[in-house]
Chains A and B, each alone.
Chain A
């Protein structure tokens, strides 16, 4: 492929997660290098979403550590993760449905807003300039995702494919260094999938954003990602570049359901 990656920026070390007696993840380790597109795949119930939720701090693993740019986290939470430059999208879209597309994207700028409540309330000079600057940044994201025409539409009224795009937009508005995508193409038609693929590659290419994604569509995963982790029943059964993973007999049997 000839693509150059930086050093490891996100490292998961022997992460285990259980809900009561159900083991969702067992002793999983893998790392993510700067600037790469890293995919997590696996059959239904393999623990992919749990994995993403651990990285982003929604779930707290019973064992293991997350090392983000050399910093050790045993107790991550979503707020800390956001501050550390991790943003994410959701499998079943968690947009703010009553708000317009612009407002949804503007919430993504929340962490970057410096003016305080009082200044905002009085539409104070610096607060106003700041709001305009954030708005300009959001417009860039809107241009990038080609959603100019739905700017003012309440998100709840948009078709599914566009909502997915707005979800990505809100994550991008945060200018993340690591972007987590939870099944970005689930439920989309071929054309929408192609668009989404293009956006993912462009984000990675133009902004240098590191991307960790979960996806069901194997064709898409193999085309898009640089390295792939394969999970099955909460265990890691494969890890490597797409060709390696494709040739791995354990992966093949997990997907075809043989010899379990």
Chain B
């Protein structure tokens, strides 16, 4: 029993991290109807910025405190992501208003390559580490009530908490503020949004900024787990099955999709693994996504698209 709960909790926490990546996709899709292929590149870029700034700042400013250096690095990286958002709007999106979805999709592919290139030429392409002081050692909890206790990875726990907090904030922002409402309006119909005086350009800057910040948080958390290197860009691939499961337009969907995949992966690895051979963790998410694409393409919580013929 203890082991099962441990696996379950491990899965939930891994799932929360997938959600964090998936969230970036959902944000951009909600506000511009575009599937953003550059999300992975943004995660990598943000993580690189964070890693390098936190290494440079003690030299530049002569600060000893790691907390302070990390804080400044975070603010700088966040500002940088907003500059990137502004540039993307200015140089790419502005010229593609009212264009076909496929055109925008290709544009995000281009953005991905540019970001990867610029990122590694500014920040270098070595493997860096991010150390924001996440607790590494696992802890034992509930030793009294469950036999043998539960072994919990503190780092995963903190990461899951941060992710949950971020998601909650974003949900409130989208549902409860008038800016959030304007964002949803833009996602539904560019032309109509413009005609009621929603400034499309400003909205896009805002949403890419938010997506950039989410990428930064995801980059820091994943970066401190895996190290900051080029393969971090492929973390976004883990978000893909999550959004297919949860629905591209739903923030809660991204969370629940992430949790289902996290738990599914771990449980199937542990309990099905011995029966059909291991390695399930690697393909489980994609297989599940495939099933969803066949039977429920809009995902669990996505809006069903009904077109009048």
A98 in the interface, Cβ–Cβ < 8 Å? yes
The answer to whether A82 and B196 have CB atoms under 8 Å apart is: yes
Mark contacts of A82-96 with chain B using CB atoms, 8 A cut-off: 1 yes-contact digit, 0 otherwise: 110001101000111
The answer to whether A174 and B185 have CB atoms under 8 Å apart is: no
The answer to whether A79 and B179 have CB atoms under 8 Å apart is: no
Write 22 A-B pairs (CB below 8 A) sorted by A numbering: A58-B191, A79-B200, A87-B195, A94-B191, A94-B192, A97-B303, A98-B184, A98-B188, A98-B249, A104-B185, A106-B181, A108-B196, A110-B182, A110-B197, A111-B196, A111-B197, A117-B206, A120-B177, A131-B178, A160-B308, A170-B196, A174-B196
The answer to whether A96 and B188 have CB atoms under 8 Å apart is: yes
Interface size for B (C-beta < 8 A) is 27
Knowing A96-B185, A97-B188 touch, does A107 contact B177 (C-beta < 8 A)? Answer: no
Interface size for A (C-beta < 8 A) is 38
Q: Residues on B close to A: CB < 8 A? A: 172-173, 176-179, 181-182, 184-185, 188-189, 191-200, 206, 249, 303, 306, 308
Interface residues in A110-147 by Cβ distance below 8 A to B read 110-111, 113, 115, 117, 120-121, 123, 131, 134
Set of chain A residues within 8 Å of B172, measured between Cβ atoms: 121
Q: How far is the CB of A199 from chain B (nearest CB, A)?
A: 18
Q: How far is the CB of B189 from chain A (nearest CB, A)?
A: 5
Q: With A and B bound together, what is the CA distance between A108 and B197 in angstroms?
A: 8
Set of chain A residues within 8 Å of B303, measured between Cβ atoms: 97-98, 156
Q: Residues on A close to B: CB < 8 A? A: 56, 58, 77-79, 81-83, 87-88, 90, 94-99, 103-104, 106-111, 113, 115, 117, 120-121, 123, 131, 134, 156, 160, 170-171, 174
Set of chain B residues within 8 Å of A121, measured between Cβ atoms: 172-173, 177
Secondary structure type dominating chain B contacts: helix
The answer to whether A120 and B184 have CB atoms under 8 Å apart is: no
Closest 4 CB pairs of A and B: A82-B197, A94-B192, A96-B188, A120-B177
Set of chain B residues within 8 Å of A131, measured between Cβ atoms: 178
CB < 8 Å neighbour of B185 from A56, A81, A107: A107
Q: With A and B bound together, what is the CA distance between A88 and B206 in angstroms?
A: 26
Knowing A108-B196, A110-B198 touch, does A96 contact B173 (C-beta < 8 A)? Answer: no
Knowing A79-B197, A98-B249 touch, does A156 contact B177 (C-beta < 8 A)? Answer: no
Set of chain B residues within 8 Å of A95, measured between Cβ atoms: 188-189, 192
The answer to whether B196 and A110 have CB atoms under 8 Å apart is: yes
Set of chain B residues within 8 Å of A87, measured between Cβ atoms: 195-196
Knowing A98-B184, A113-B178 touch, does A78 contact B173 (C-beta < 8 A)? Answer: no
Q: With A and B bound together, what is the CA distance between A98 and B303 in angstroms?
A: 7
The answer to whether A120 and B192 have CB atoms under 8 Å apart is: no
Set of chain A residues within 8 Å of B196, measured between Cβ atoms: 82, 87, 107-108, 110-111, 170-171, 174
Q: How far is the CB of A167 from chain B (nearest CB, A)?
A: 9
